Amino acid sequence: MTQEGTWDPSPKVDEALKNDLTSILSKLAGAPARTAAAYGKLTGNCCFCGTGLTNDNSTDVGYGPVCAKRWGLPWGKKEAH
């Protein structure tokens, strides 16, 4: 990732992996809270710091209060789908 926000993968990265990562980064850019929450719910860990999610509020949104504040994301209630 460049300072301008452009992702320029190494030519050594497998093409299928590039496509997967591009898709994930696009989802994250378009809907950061929803994408982070989906990852957290899938793994049981915060997608930002990897800490285990231990309370209902964190489990509901998929990341903890510290990372929510750090990244400017909603926390403490379920996101409407």
Q: Dump pLDDT digits (tens) for 6-45.
A: 777 788 878 888 888 888 888 888 887 788 778 888 889 9
Q: 48 is in which domain, residue-wise?
A: 15-71
Q: Is residue 23 part of a domain?
A: yes
Cβ 53 vs Cβ 70: under 8 Å: no
Q: Is residue 5 part of a domain?
A: no
Other beta carbons within 10 Å of 79: 14
At 22 the pLDDT is 82
Q: Give the total number of structural domains in the chain.
A: 1
Q: Is residue 3 part of a domain?
A: no
Q: Is residue 6 part of a domain?
A: no
Q: What is the maximal distance between C-alpha atoms in the chain? A: 42
Q: Is residue 29 part of a domain?
A: yes
Q: Is residue 62 part of a domain?
A: yes
At 51 the pLDDT is 94
